[in-house]
Chains A and B, each alone.
Chain A
Amino acid sequence: MQYINLLYILSTVLLIIGLRRMSSPASAAKGNLIAAAGMGLATIVAMFDPIAGDQGNYAWIIVALAIGTVVGLVFSKKVAMTAIPELVSLFNGFGGACAVAISIIEVYKFGETSSIGARATTYMALFIGGVAFTGSLIAYGKLSGKVKDWKSGISSYFNLIWLALCLGLIIYEVVAMGQIEYLPMAILVVSLIYGFTFVLPIGGADMPVVISLLNAFTGIAAALAGIVYSNMVMLLGGILVGSSGTILTVLMCNAMNRSLINVIIGGFGSSAATAGAGPEGDVKEATANDTAIMMRYATNVMIIPGYGMAVAQAQKACKELDKSLTERGVNVNYAIHPVAGRMPGHMNVLLAEADVPYNKLIDMDDANNMFGDTDVCLVVGANDVVNPSALDDPSSPIYGMPVLEILKSKNVVVLKRSMNKGYSGIENPLFFHERTKMLFGDAKATIETLNNEVKSMD
């Protein structure tokens, strides 16, 4: 058994290959399985690897593994595809909680001889894991509608002070060598509170960025714990997630033309409040019948899905309408904004679930080149990603963000439940534009009506 730790090398290789394969559509599913195999192997090695002070306790470990496996499988099978972002956030919180659990035990094991470096590492794992834990819970709550956006003018100052408090206590504890018995617990509590107050003021629309960032935090916490246990798989796996999560976060921020700092301090929420009166004007309502006729006799139709499509579960109805129109010679495509929905790629997953072919999903840049030849743009529950203020209104909080330029097309029909503002709370002049018609109602029901109208025209 003494050489079993060599298998750690194999599991590290599996994790890297898995992550690499996951980054291309053709090999992604296999990559996930390879990474899962790497994780399974690492877990088995961790159980039998010869370690100092081994006490066994296998009953505890096996029962815990069994419970976690069953709960994890049930969660993942039961969840609706629309709820995936919040589930990922919840899972991430659990990983952070595990980092918290092990580091709080480890800090109480420190003796006189523990080095400053080891202490600092463990406390940072505790702090970062704690922020990932409670922050993810808040992100979960916001995405599932259980926690409302809340922001006050002093949030960012409070957070800065609180962050300084967390780090100050950690530095004091590390240098003071555990003189105060309850200080580790105090650090645990202030870290958990920081996770709450860090995410609470960030607008719900920015949750994808936050989840990605917190995912990176969990990875960093795991890597720090890997140093504590001198375990290379934890270290490498953790850093891989930490760095890839960070770069993914930056990519998402770029897609919204915002900096990470701006997201964290809160751009949308605060500036939208001061934006004052938005555009006013007449809204033109369309009827399902008009819209159906327009689409039936169009050459090119572009569907622009947004989070509203996910909420209304309208993806299958969309696919049916697409099918009816395609059978009648209409060319139907889908324009996908990189941050439509609640996670990047959220719309792709939903439409893939509804059997929409991969080649009909058009990226933003290609779509913007195609709108000139598009007869009808059907906006299904998207708002901020089609807001023309981003192009021409420098006073708008989202000015400069790349959006789908659907006003280049001949006709725009917006399916919307009501005239409420979008997730970011910003007015959308698109709705008042002369070429835009609004079709109010539940997206799924409306699309089904449109489909019936199209079919009845033969």
Chain B
Amino acid sequence: MLEILDYLSDNVLTINLWIITIYLGFEVISKVPTVLHTPLMSGSNAISGIVIIGAIILVRQSANDDYVSLVIGSVGIVLATINVVGGHAVTNRMLDMFKKKS
């Protein structure tokens, strides 16, 4: 139990940041008109691909002959890149249709 409290107290800044960002996320979304829900879901889905950074760091920290780590990390990069690039591209396609009319 003490160990958990230690961990939390070592990470007070992170936890604060976490709380503030939760509210930021609520605020950013709560004023969105329904018409934009699908593009927004698609766009925020692309942002969830930010996990790609973890995969890049993982591959950079892998020993040059640790093929398990290298292969799994690289597969992670491929998948997350599809998420990011595909997500933003498809969002762009959707939003282009709105732009044409206005």
Contact = CB atoms under 8 A, between A and B. Distances in A.
Interface of A: 15-16, 18-20, 22-26, 28-29, 31-33, 35-36, 39, 42-43, 46-47, 51-57, 60-61, 63-65, 67-69, 71-73, 75-77, 79, 81, 84-85, 87-88, 91-92, 94-95, 97-99, 101-102, 104-106, 115-118, 120, 129, 211-212, 215, 218-219, 221-223, 225-229, 231-248, 251-252, 255, 336, 338, 343-346, 348-349, 352-353, 355, 357-358, 361, 363
Given A71-B78, A95-B79, A343-B38, A39 B59 contact: no
A29 B99 contact: yes
A76 B75 contact: no
Interface in B78-101: 78-101
Interface string B10-32: 11001001100111111011111
Contacts of B85: 68-69, 72-73, 76
A218 B30 contact: no
Given A72-B81, A225-B54, A248 B90 contact: no
Contacts of A81: 94
Contacts of A236: 17, 21
26 contacts: A23-B36, A31-B43, A35-B46, A39-B46, A51-B57, A51-B61, A60-B70, A69-B81, A72-B83, A88-B87, A91-B46, A105-B68, A105-B72, A115-B7, A222-B49, A222-B50, A222-B54, A226-B53, A227-B11, A236-B21, A240-B44, A241-B47, A246-B25, A247-B25, A336-B34, A346-B38
Given A61-B77, A68-B81, A348-B35, 8 more contacts: A35-B88, A57-B70, A76-B93, A91-B86, A245-B44, A247-B25, A248-B41, A336-B34
A357 B101 contact: yes
B98 A23 contact: no
A22 B37 CA distance: 10
A227 to B, nearest CB: 6
A26 B101 CA distance: 11
A91 B87 contact: yes
A229 B53 contact: yes
A209 B53 CA distance: 27
A234 B50 contact: yes
Contact of B84 (A72, A99, A353): A72
A252 B41 CA distance: 12
A32 B39 contact: yes
Contacts of A252: 37
A65 B101 CA distance: 35
A219 B60 contact: no
Nearest to A33: B92
Contacts of A87: 86, 90
Given A68-B85, A118-B7, A227-B14, A101 B28 contact: no
Given A118-B7, A241-B25, A94 B80 contact: yes
B79 A101 contact: yes
Counting from the closest, the 8 A-B pairs by CB-CB distance are A68-B81, A117-B7, A243-B25, A72-B86, A72-B85, A344-B37, A101-B76, A64-B77
Contacts of A255: 34
Contact of A355 (B39, B87, B92, B100): B100
Contact of A117 (B8, B89, B98, B100): B8
Nearest to B25: A243
A104 B83 contact: no
A74 B15 CA distance: 39
Contacts of A349: 38-39, 94, 97
A69 B81 CA distance: 6
A16 B97 CA distance: 23
**Looking at B68, B80, B93, which has the most chain A CB atoms within 10 Å of its CB?**
B80
Nearest to B56: A46
A65 B81 contact: yes
B51 A102 contact: yes
A15 B44 CA distance: 10
Contact of A239 (B18, B56, B98): B18
A98 B52 contact: yes
B4 to A, nearest CB: 6
Nearest to A338: B34
A167 B89 CA distance: 37
A101 B5 CA distance: 29
Contacts of B80: 68, 94-95, 98
Nearest to A54: B60
B62 to A, nearest CB: 6
Contacts of A355: 100-101
A116 B25 CA distance: 29
A442 B34 CA distance: 28
